[in-house]
Structure formats: C-alpha cells, structure tokens
C-alpha cells in the first residue's frame, strides 16, 4: 500500500514547477489518488521500520483512522475546487502539504511519526494565514505558529517520557495515568482548542485567506479529535472539558462582529460535542464523535466557503458592514443556509444524524447535567451559526452592497459540500457503515424529529422576538477580550513592567558604581595629587636619608 500522504507530498513538491490550470488540476488529483490508496486498504500495520532501536509504524490502518482519512481526502478535494481560481503556488503547495500531513497524522501508528506530521501540519498551515498579507494576518500567523509549535514540543516531550518508562513508542490508548500521558493530552488539547488554550483558533482563522480558512477549518482540530479518540477515549475529564467547549464559545459568538470569527467560535462549540463523546467513551459515544467530526468538516467548510465568498466578492466580513446580499448572491445564500441547517442539526441535514449520538450516549451514561448543557449548546449553535450568519450577511438591513456571485469554481465547491451535507442527512447509513464500531442507531423516529424541531423553531422564535423588540445586541465594530489577551496584552505588559523595574535597578546600580568611582578618584587626587602629602615632590636630603635607612636595615637583616 502506498502511504496515503505520499500523493500529497509529491504534488506539493511539483506545484511550484507548474503554472495556471495544470497546477489547479494537480491540486485536485492528489486527493483523488490518495483516496484510491485507501480503497480496499487492509486493516493493520501497512508499513513498519526499525530505526535507532525504535519500532516505527508510519502507516497503520483501522476503522478509526479510516473514517478520518476519508473525510480529510474529501475536504482536500472540496478545498481544491474552491481554490481553483488561485494563481498562488505558495498557498497551493502549503494546502497540499497541510492536508497530506493531517492524513499522515491519522494513519501514524507511533508517537514519533505522529510528532513529525503534527509539526508539518503547523508549519505548512501557517502559510495559509501569512498569504493574506495584511499586517494583522502576519502578526496573527506568528502567534499561531508559536502556539502550534508549543503543542509539538509538548507531544515530543510526552512521547520521550513514555518511551523512557515503557520502552514503547506505539500510539495506542494512553489515558492520564500513562507515563507522559498528561503532556501528550496537553499537546492534543492545544490543537483541539481546549478552553483557555483555544484562542489561537479564533485569533488566526479569521485572518487567513478566504480559501485558506476552508483548509484550516478541516484539518488541525479534527486531527486532534482523532488523536484524543485514539489515546484518551473514556477519560472522564474530557466530558467536562467538552461540555465547557460546547458552552462558553456561543456567548462570544453572539457578540462577535467578524462573521468568520463567529464561525471560529462555533467550530469550538462543535468540537465540544466530539470531545464530550470521546470522554464518555462508549461505542455509541465514540461513534458519535467520529460521525460528528465527519459531518462537521463538511458543513463547517461550507459555512466558511460561503463567508469566504462574501469576503472575496465584497472585501468585507463584519456583520456591521454586511446585509441584504441575498439580492446579488442568491445561490451563495441558499448554499450558506444549507450549511446553517446542517450545523443546527435540522432533520434531513448532516448534523441531525451525528450530534444526537453523543447526546444519547450522555443520557445513557447518566450525565444528565452534561446533556442539559449540550442541549443548551444545540439551541445556541442554531442561534448564532444557523441564524446569525445567514441573517446578518444576506438579510437584515440592506447594506447597499451590490456584487455578483463568486467565481464558478467556488460555487461548485459549495454545491459539492452542500450535496454531501444533505446526502448524509438523508442517508445516514452511508456514514454509519464506516464508523469505528458497528451501530444500529437510527436518528429518524417521530419523537426525535419532533423534539429537535421544537428546540430549533423555538430558538428561532426567540431570535425573532429579540430582534423585533430591539433587545438583540447590534453588531458593533469591536474587539472582545478572550484568552489571547493573556499573551497579547498581559504578557507584554508584565514584560514591560519587569523591564521597567530591572531598568530602574540597573540604573541605580550603575549610578552608584559611577558615583563610587568618582569618589575614589577624588580621594586619590587628595592623597596623591601634585599638592597632596603623598604626591608632592620630596627634597633630595630626605630621599637620601630614607634610602639609607632602608638599605641599612636590609643589610642588617641579611647579615643576621
């Protein structure tokens, strides 16, 4: 079996040598060839090598890695169509390398291979942010890179601790008690945007290029979800972390103005459902996490594509600047609404067939409070991603912006993603057949459909009431403080104050030293100066007398 990341690697190297359409074709060929290597791939370790006394398994195939492998190929393909019009070899090459390394990561059978792909993901993806070229994007990309590399360093440290203690570098179930387990969880947690470690995502994703954000939204966080499912399924701590992730970002999403940042917050909210499922750890829950990752990648890419199309065509992305675009972008509007319905888990759309698996598992395992939080988050996600995104971009007040639909390739990419969202929503068994564990779960029964419709439509009712009564907070040009404040403001401020204290102390020590030297000089001048007792010229007779005394004394002592 050819390792699935190889076609991406070759294409990434070839891209700079090609021009125009040939390059765009190659970007699409790589995921197709990669996907063909997965068809009929036997489960087990496909490639093993012994190096430096370590047993490395660069390609290990099982059902958990396969489902993530499939969706990563689909995401790379859809992203490739979306970026077809680009004439930028750096973004094309970086995108391929990024997708390839994410695929490499989910098929990595050992921690060292995982570490290598983990770092390639970080380094390749940062170019998609840099490529935007604005000063904000460049600074944001630097922060992004520091955080991502930190995650890699923690992973390597954890892997080495694990190797030292167990003699094995294999990547299987770890748990918190495994040697290095906490370090590795922290590494995964950074890329999975755990609460407090999340703000690299909402900082950097909205700064990337319109096409770059589509790639970014698919790979890093879902590769992290995969590694959590592999290493930490059933770790109860993750239930609480996941519930927090599902809960807190929706508040930020309501008051955020940049619509791609709103999607960033809702991305974390959706990751929360997956992390909760992994923490619960039953077959149903892990299936739910994997299924939700699969459908999430599609609808989140679709939503980011529709907002990317708006940004691409109007140059604007703030809710306060947009509105009324359905007049000039009706197709984009409809495709965006498909994405919105999918993330909100409307029946017949993809979210509906994956999210309830996690919620059902939560109830089955007695996590009643977690279930209530997830239900709150489900209503909230409809509110901010399902309604707010399409409403403020395409409806609301007419911003006066008149534009056209985005380039055809962008529309095709959105159409492909939308078709997949509806396809999975209508025929869930297509997805269920490929989940890590066999399942007979059926989302379509009258009770579930009715309950979900009630939840969603009454959330919409709340939106309608709040908007009509003027209670809904207006979109405002603003920055909302989040965890990145710690390293963007507090840190620099502390460093600034520390520099001040050290500077003051340093100045005091220096001036004291200089003062001491000046005083010493004065004393020396007083004692040895031309008119001082020790420095004045002596008369000859006195000098001769002293010399005699000294010489005489010396001779006497010698003689004695």
Partner 1 sequence: MHDQRIRFLDRPENVRRLLRVFYVVCLGLIAADLVYHRHVSHPLESMPGFYGVYGFVACVLLVLVAKQMRRLLMRDEHYYDRRDGGQ
Residues 6+ apart with CB under 8 A from 370: 239, 240, 243, 276, 362
Q: Distance between CA atoms of 399 and 394, rounded to whole angstroms?
A: 10
Residue 532 CB, shortest distance to partner 1, in Å, is 55
**Nearer to partner 1 by C-beta: 174 or 456?**
456
**Nearer to partner 1 by C-beta: 144 or 226?**
144
Residue 212 CB, shortest distance to partner 1, in Å, is 20
Cβ–Cβ under 8 Å, residues 299 and 421:
yes
Q: Please state, as a whole number, how many other Cβ atoms lie within 10 Å of the Cβ of residue 183.
A: 19
Residue 340 CB, shortest distance to partner 1, in Å, is 15
Q: Distance between CA atoms of 125 and 200, rounded to whole angstroms?
A: 13
Residue 283 CB, shortest distance to partner 1, in Å, is 17
Residue 479 CB, shortest distance to partner 1, in Å, is 4
**Nearer to partner 1 by C-beta: 163 or 379?**
379
Residue 458 CB, shortest distance to partner 1, in Å, is 4
Residue 245 CB, shortest distance to partner 1, in Å, is 16
Residue 470 CB, shortest distance to partner 1, in Å, is 12
**Nearer to partner 1 by C-beta: 102 or 377?**
377
CB-side exposure of 443: number of CA atoms within 13 Å? 28
Q: Take residue 83 and report the two structure tokens written for it.
A: 């970026």
Q: Please state, as a whole number, how many other Cβ atoms lie within 10 Å of the Cβ of residue 559.
A: 6
- CA nearest neighbour of 30 among 65, 66, 6: 6
Cβ–Cβ under 8 Å, residues 319 and 460:
no
CA 311 from chain centre, in angstroms, equals 21
**Nearer to partner 1 by C-beta: 47 or 472?**
472
Total residues found in the chain within this entry: 560
Tell me if residue 191 falls in helix, strand or coil: helix
Tell me if residue 55 falls in helix, strand or coil: strand
Cβ–Cβ under 8 Å, residues 232 and 174:
yes
Q: Distance between CA atoms of 246 and 267, rounded to whole angstroms?
A: 9
**Nearer to partner 1 by C-beta: 50 or 445?**
445
Q: Which residues bind to partner 1, rule: CB under 8 A?
A: 136, 139, 142, 250-252, 254-255, 326-328, 360, 363-364, 368, 371, 375-376, 379-380, 383, 395, 402-404, 445-447, 450-466, 471-473, 476-482, 488-489, 492
Residue 432 CB, shortest distance to partner 1, in Å, is 20
**Nearer to partner 1 by C-beta: 485 or 554?**
485
**Nearer to partner 1 by C-beta: 164 or 364?**
364
**Nearer to partner 1 by C-beta: 137 or 421?**
137
Which run of H or E residues covers position 237? helix 236-255
**Nearer to partner 1 by C-beta: 200 or 252?**
252
Residue 65 CB, shortest distance to partner 1, in Å, is 32
| Long-range own/partner contacts, residues 369-377 (CB < 8 A, 24 or more apart) | 370/239, 370/240, 370/243, 370/276, 373/243, 373/246, 373/247, 374/243, 374/246, 374/272, 374/273, 374/276, 375/455, 376/247, 377/246, 377/247, 377/250, 377/269, 377/272, 377/273
- CA nearest neighbour of 394 among 346, 326, 314, 471: 326
Q: Take residue 154 and report the two structure tokens written for it.
A: 């923690």
Residue 416 CB, shortest distance to partner 1, in Å, is 28
**Nearer to partner 1 by C-beta: 60 or 388?**
388
């Amino acid at each position: 079996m050819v390792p699935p990341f190889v076609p991406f690697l070759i294409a990434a190297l070839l891209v700079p040598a090609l021009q125009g359409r040939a390059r765009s074709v190659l970007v699409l060929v790589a995921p197709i060839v990669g996907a063909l290597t997965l068809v009929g791939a036997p489960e087990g370790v496909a490639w093993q090598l012994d190096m430096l006394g370590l047993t490395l398994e660069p390609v290990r195939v099982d059902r958990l890695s396969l489902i993530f492998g499939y969706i990563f190929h689909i995401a790379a393909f859809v992203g490739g169509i979306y970026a077809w019009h680009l004439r930028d070899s750096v973004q094309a090459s970086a995108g391929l390398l990024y997708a390839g390394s994410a695929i490499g990561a989910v098929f990595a059978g050992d921690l060292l291979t995982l570490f290598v792909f983990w770092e390639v993901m970080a380094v390749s993806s940062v170019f998609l942010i840099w490529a935007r070229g604005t000063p904000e994007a460049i600074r944001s990309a630097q922060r992004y890179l520091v955080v991502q590399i930190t995650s890699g360093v923690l992973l390597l440290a954890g892997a080495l601790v694990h190797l030292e203690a167990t003699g094995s570098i294999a990547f299987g179930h770890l748990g918190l008690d495994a040697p290095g387990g906490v370090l590795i969880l922290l590494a995964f947690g950074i890329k999975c945007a755990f609460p407090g470690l999340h703000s690299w995502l909402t900082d950097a994703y909205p700064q990337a290029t319109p096409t770059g954000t589509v790639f970014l939204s698919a790979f890093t966080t879902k590769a992290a979800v995969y590694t959590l499912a592999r290493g930490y399924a059933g770790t109860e701590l993750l239930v609480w972390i996941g519930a927090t992730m599902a809960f807190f970002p929706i508040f930020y999403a309501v008051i955020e103005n940049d619509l791609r940042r709103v999607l960033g917050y809702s991305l974390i909210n959706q990751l929360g459902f997956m992390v909760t499922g992994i923490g619960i750890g039953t077959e149903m829950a892990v299936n739910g996490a994997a299924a939700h990752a699969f459908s999430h990648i599609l609808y989140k890419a679709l939503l980011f594509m529709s907002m990317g199309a708006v940004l691409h065509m109007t140059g604007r992305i703030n809710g306060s600047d947009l509105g009324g675009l359905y007049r000039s972008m009706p197709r984009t509007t409809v495709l965006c609404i498909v994405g919105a319905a999918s993330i909100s888990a409307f029946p017949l759309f993809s979210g509906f067939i994956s999210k309830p698996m996690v919620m059902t598992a939560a109830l089955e395992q007695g996590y009643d409070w977690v279930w209530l939080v997830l239900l709150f988050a489900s209503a909230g996600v409809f509110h901010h991603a399902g309604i707010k995104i399409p409403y403020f971009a395409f409806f609301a007040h007419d911003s006066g912006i008149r534009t056209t639909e985005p380039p055809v390739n962008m529309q095709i990419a959105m159409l492909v993603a939308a078709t997949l969202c509806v396809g999975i929503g209508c025929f869930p068994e297509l997805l269920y057949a490929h989940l890590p564990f066999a399942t007979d779960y059926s989302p379509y029964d009258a009770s579930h459909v009715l309950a979900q419709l009630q939840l969603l439509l009454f959330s919409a009712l709340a939106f309608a009431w709040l908007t009509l009564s003027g209670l809904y907070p207006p979109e405002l040009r603003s920055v909302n403080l989040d965890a990145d404040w710690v390293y963007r403001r507090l840190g620099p401020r502390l460093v600034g104050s520390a520099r001040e204290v050290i500077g003051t102390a340093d100045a005091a020590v220096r001036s004291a030293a200089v003062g001491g030297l000046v005083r010493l000089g004065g004393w020396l001048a007083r004692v040895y100066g031309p008119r001082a007792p020790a420095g004045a010229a002596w008369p000859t007779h006195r000098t001769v007398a002293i010399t005699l005394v000294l010489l005489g004394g010396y001779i006497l002592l010698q003689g004695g």
